[in-house]
Structure 1
Amino acid sequence: MERQIKIIPCIYGGKPAEAAKAYDHSGADAVGYYDEKITAETVKEIAKDIDIPLYAGGGIEDLEDVKKILYAGADKVCLGKTVLVDKEIVKKAGDRFGKDQIIVSMDLERQEDPVSFAKEMARLGAGQLLLLADKGYETFASLIKEIKEVSGLPVMVSISDPKEAVRILELAGADDLAVVSREAFGVMELKHDCRTAGFGVNTFESSMSFDEFKLNSDGMLTVVTQDYKTNEVLMVAYMTKEAFEKTVETGIMTYYSRSRKELWTKGDTSGHYQYVKSLTIDCDKDTLLAKVEQVGNACHTGSYSCFFTDLVKKEYKDDNPMEVFQSVYDVIMDRKKHPKEGSYTNYLFEKGIDKILKKVGEEATEIVIAAKNPDVEEMKYEISDFLYHLMVLMAERGMTWDEVTRELIERK
């Protein structure tokens, strides 16, 4: 079975949140962020806008730093110089947060006994090794192989030039590739180069050929495009075989324009690209459902969705839990930004954090009391009161439902 290589662009300086988002869109398997003294605030800013794992490191000195970075949204932390001072931090961090979240970096050119060091890191609880060699890996191929065998840990190799990726992979036998490039590079193009060289990489590949689909009378496949988070239908368009294959190759929605009679990559003119999250064919194989991340608006009129003109509508209760929570939260945030006289929510904000915490505690206690009652109706009311006050607390601290759901997904 071929090795699956993860391509991980690493960001240092500049505008890390913007760079991370761009790499997320371009097909990165994860993104790395490094700073001389990394802060939880920057990690949080990066993590909130990406859907791929975030690896973070730099200036992490103790277990409290590890906790702050992981709690801010990093999926893994990378421990470097601090391990040379206190190796036990690896064990403490691995025991506390799980070894899968701990990477230890090692400079092959400076480490006195790399093999023994790697073996010890594995024993202490590291989950992965990041190997560095500024002058190149030409003399370290056999050493890297020995490190992998002795430690049993997956190895990530750091490079600075994406053009060297295939050669380094062939030389070093790495499991993952960290690309520390000052210039932005095309991740999907690099992955295709790796695949051509025989390395397994995670690219978009359709489980069915376009020839298996049932096309309309014009020889095209109907495509329904949907927001991947909200499930809102954005637009309906058409694909030829060439458009479908380009979509799969690039990860960006490409259609066929019937009016212009040419391929049309959504966003090339407006910048409102649609980045593929999934492509699903229906039971008749004649309609494709594309779930995408939409940048800007899908409709040429400036509307987010092309479906904004109501023809027939019956009032109904929207009881989607997340939409209800988000709606209530949005009202609370609006009260915070635009105070309204007589608003209980504004009263809580004016009294401050201690009052809000007191109410959250009181409502939690009310749930416990109500739960002892055989009639669950009272419990329903108390839970609703608690959730409202909890959302006021979230708003006061600047926390969103996206952050909470992301954390729950990670735990699942």
Structure 2
Amino acid sequence: MKLIELIRNFFHRLFYGKSKEKTPQVDDGTHASGTTNDDPPSVPTIELESTTGTQAPQSGNTSQPANDNYGEILQHPKMSKNYTVQIVPFLTSILKLNYEATYKVLYSISNSVDARFPIIRVPQRGCEIKLPVLGRSGKRGVCEERLCKIIKDLKLHGFYDSLSLFIGNYSKPFEPDIAYIDTQKGIFVDIEIDEPYSGWERKPIHYKTENGTIDDLRNHYFTERGWTVIRFSEKQVHKHPKSCLKRVYQLLNKMDVTITMPQSLATEADISLEDMWTKKQAESMEQNDEREKMLGIDKFIQPVEGPHIILKDYLKGRELEKKISNREEAQRKVSEQIQSRFLESPPQPPIVSNANSDDQRRKGAEQYEHQQYISTQSKPKTTPSSRGYA
């Protein structure tokens, strides 16, 4: 028995002891550092807001920086294996959110009128707000990183990165590029930076269509859940990042007049409007490497896959999704009823016998009015029957 135990311990140290030193395993919600779910979660996140709470520590399960999930300029060594981190999806320690409470939109402003950046889409006043959860696994844009750095350098409050929003039955949540949140005023803003094409895949990703933009459905998902969406072009953020932030504060001031312009942005010029491109124009921009020329790089490289994150929607959030689903189903039924009325065949005239056909009745009416032209007799009779009476 002792020999068997010695052999078992030898192989256990051989296979598990060294692997823990080089590639820490994550199993059953245990973090790479050896903590359990009772400890603060290890989150690969960039927290832009300066808070009094404890900031979530950087994940220790990857050798690459958390901000290098996109097709970046410099190549980083790929991970030998993907790891999963169990995330506690509540931000009460950072955002001071009460996930049992109901937040509603308190402002009423208008959408921007056309497909020109910055594009603004807003929710209705009184709309219930869907709260975000902590964590993000999507690719990160080049200019997004630059804007995050400027926000941090200027010490602007209310901006957050690495958040996700569960939408409907989608298993993967939607991820704002940058979020601005003021829970006291009921303000949740999704700040997006739109590129004409993806750097590595070389495919158009944001463009206008005949009836709007390719992002209209995504915008609708956010506004229906109480979020305002503001979209800048990558060019605007790259060339005039502070002017873009100034536009954000101008929007926030319309939502609540107590939100004022920071002095660090007050003297910046207003951001100029920029027409959104079509899909054909985006393809042409890709052929000409316009993003690469603007950013001053030779080419984009293949994205390095970051750690996989398991996220769960909160209970009240799932209940809100059911309400939205029921409301959409009711609206869909009403729309189908309206459409079916227009698609119905027009009413058909009653079927009549040949003895009383439309043609005979028409001739009878004409004979009554103009018997002198259609009478088969050479001379009209003077009796009442000549007027068409029997």
| TM-score class, shorter | under 0.3
TM-score (normalizing by structure 1): 0.24
Indicate the structure with greater strand content.
1
Q: Which has the higher contact order (CA 8 A, sep 6+)?
A: 2
Decide which structure has greater helix share.
Answer: 1
Bigger CA radius of gyration: 2
